[in-house]
């Protein structure tokens, strides 16, 4: 763990773009700066350095704060100033607090500005090597001054300033930018907020899900390639097979998962054939029926959870398919995904879609509430349609694709990096 933290745990405080506009004819200057902080957390500890305040500490001459501009949150501070004549200045105090459980130290300070002689920038209050222990605060001063030696309007009316503060853990290990991390099979994995990768599940606290077209979520199980769907709040892994078999959902044409023929097969003959079945854990699976074409993913998830089944092998829920998409704005609800089904752009930002063969369909474990013989399926180029749909054209007695899913114990250890060329491998 410590070795991994030394390589991957870094926290950056970035103060970027301080822009000053000088119009000497009316004696006016506008100043704006942004300070950004991103912090990291992991299962055992939390590296959290954040902004907790910003205020004007001093000003001289005609300098004034712009309260409509000056704001802050956990990760950024923005402040604005008007300067009226040479010699005017204003100083802002930015309070930075260590609210985590790991002592921090300021490793480096890097500053870049546009070198406009009419605009002077100064920072003070924090120095390289300064400690910021748990519960402590530090105050950075940022001062902007209208150069008192200016006697005529400068040719350059703009200036920029960027300051990077790199905080390390107090023990010398480094926390990478990018927010928090979580543990997968004993390995620290970065949690992202854009692009392909592992995301915090906004609908279930403590849960992480893989999203995007091609995230590094490959894992070898039963000597086959599988994909990690999620890291659950108890650190167990939900995975699904990367290839499919053909089977009916229920040969008796009933959408009750408790009695479904596919359930009987998966948790009987199929489960008994697995070489690593000792790594599988029993779980409560969400098997509640949902409304087709609904517009509220949170409500859909609640409906799925309204009924549960306890077992070892199942399939993905309809909401897990939707949540695997990074394009939530256009594909993040049943209705959005369905309405955009005549094109394939929702498919290009969802790795689960590529598990389907062209012209095929994939069962989910989620019944439809339309009647008792409909479930939800994922379609691929089915009469020109792509994505999630009610099985109005696919009778549940039909043999279509099944990508088995199951939960792996939180006690497993993994090697590899999850890429297709170097998938995670269970080592114990």
Nearest to 335 by CA among 300, 375, 364, 363: 300
Number of domains into which the chain is organized: 2
Angle in degrees, CA 266, 270, 271, rounded to 5: 85
At residue 291, what are phi and psi to the nearest 5 degrees? -90, 130
Contact 316, 364 (CB under 8 A): yes
In angstroms, the CA 90 to CA 80 distance is 10
Last residue of a domain, one of 143, 169, 195: 169
- Write the Ramachandran bin of 172: left for phi over 0, alpha for psi from -120 to 50, otherwise beta: left
In angstroms, the CA 124 to CA 220 distance is 52
Q: What is the mean pLDDT of the chain?
A: 81
Residues 378 and 324 in one domain: yes
- Write the Ramachandran bin of 222: left for phi over 0, alpha for psi from -120 to 50, otherwise beta: left
Q: Is residue 426 part of a domain?
A: no
Alpha helices in 166-282 (DSSP H): 261-265, 271-273
In angstroms, the CA 40 to CA 180 distance is 4
Residues 397 and 347 in one domain: yes
Nearest to 320 by CA among 304, 309, 306, 308: 304
* Bridge partner list, 138: 96
Contact 391, 374 (CB under 8 A): yes
Residues 304 and 194 in one domain: yes
In angstroms, the CA 290 to CA 5 distance is 42
Beta carbons within 8 Å of 299's beta carbon, 6+ residues apart:
none
Residues 346 and 393 in one domain: yes
R_g over Cα of the chain: 28
Give the number of other CB atoms < 10 A from CB of residue 356. 22
Residues 214 and 272 in one domain: yes
pLDDT at res. 75: 60
Residues 357 and 327 in one domain: yes
pLDDT tens-digit profile of 120-164? 888 899 888 888 888 899 998 888 888 888 877 766 666 666 667
Nearest to 318 by CA among 341, 298, 290, 346: 290
pLDDT tens-digit profile of 232-262? 999 999 999 999 999 999 999 999 999 999 9
Residues 163 and 310 in one domain: no
Q: Give me the count of residues in the chain.
A: 428
Residues 271 and 188 in one domain: yes
Residues 149 and 195 in one domain: no
Average pLDDT of the residues in 408-412: 95
DSSP readout, 31-61?
EEEEEEEE-EE-SS-EE-EEEEEEEEEEEET
Residues 75 and 195 in one domain: no
Tell me the residue range of the domain where 351 lies.
184-408
Residues 335 and 278 in one domain: yes
pLDDT at res. 175: 41
In angstroms, the CA 297 to CA 151 distance is 62
pLDDT tens-digit profile of 278-327? 999 999 999 999 999 999 999 999 999 999 999 999 999 999 999 999 99
pLDDT tens-digit profile of 204-215? 989 999 999 999
Q: Would you state the structure tokens that stand for residue 247, as one six-digit string?
A: 């089977």
Residues 251 and 362 in one domain: yes
Q: Is residue 208 part of a domain?
A: yes
Q: What is the pTM of this model?
A: 0.61
In angstroms, the CA 376 to CA 319 distance is 10
């Amino acid at each position: 763990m410590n070795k991994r933290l030394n390589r991957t745990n870094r926290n950056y405080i970035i103060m970027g773009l301080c822009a000053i506009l000088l119009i000497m004819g009316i004696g006016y200057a506008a100043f704006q700066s942004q300070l950004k902080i991103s912090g990291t957390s992991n299962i055992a500890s939390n590296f959290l350095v954040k902004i907790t305040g910003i205020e004007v500490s001093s000003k001289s001459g005609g300098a004034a704060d712009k309260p409509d501009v000056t704001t802050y949150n956990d990760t950024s501070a923005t402040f604005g100033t008007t300067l009226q004549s040479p010699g005017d200045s204003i100083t802002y105090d930015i309070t930075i607090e260590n609210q985590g459980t790991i002592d921090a130290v300021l490793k480096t300070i890097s500053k870049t500005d546009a070198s406009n002689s009419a605009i002077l920038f100064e920072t003070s209050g924090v120095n390289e090597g300064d400690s910021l222990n748990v519960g402590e605060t530090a105050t950075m001063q940022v001062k902007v001054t209208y150069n008192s030696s200016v006697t005529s309007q400068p040719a350059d009316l703009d200036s920029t300033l960027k300051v990077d503060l790199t905080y390390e853990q107090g023990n010398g290990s480094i926390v990478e930018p990018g927010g928090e991390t979580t543990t997968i099979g004993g390995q620290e994995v970065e949690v992202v907020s854009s692009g392909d990768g592992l995301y915090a599940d906004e609908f279930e606290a403590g849960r992480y899900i893989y999203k995007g077209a091609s995230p590094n979520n490959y894992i070898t199980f039963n000597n086959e390639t599988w994909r990690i769907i999620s890291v659950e709040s108890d650190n167990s892994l939900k995975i699904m097979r990367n290839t499919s078999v053909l089977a009916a959902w229920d040969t008796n044409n009933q959408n009750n998962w408790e009695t479904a023929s596919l359930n009987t097969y998966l948790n009987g003959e199929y489960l008994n054939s697995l070489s690593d079945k000792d790594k599988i854990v029993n779980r409560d699976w969400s098997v509640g029926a949902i409304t087709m074409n609904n517009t509220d993913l949170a409500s859909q998830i609640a409906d799925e959870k309204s009924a549960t089944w306890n077992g070892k092998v199942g399939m993905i829920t309809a909401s897990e398919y939707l949540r695997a998409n990074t394009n939530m704005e256009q594909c993040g609800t049943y209705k959005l995904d369905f309405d955009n089904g005549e094109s394939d752009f929702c498919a290009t930002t969802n790795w689960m879609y590529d598990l389907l063969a062209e012209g095929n369909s994939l069962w989910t474990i989620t019944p439809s509430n339309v009647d008792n013989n409909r479930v939800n399926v994922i379609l691929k180029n089915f009469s020109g349609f792509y994505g999630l749909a009610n099985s109005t054209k696919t009778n549940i007695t039909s043999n279509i694709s099944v990508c088995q899913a199951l939960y792996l114990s939180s006690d497993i250890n993994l090697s590899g990096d999850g890429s297709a060329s170097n998938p995670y491998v269970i080592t114990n």
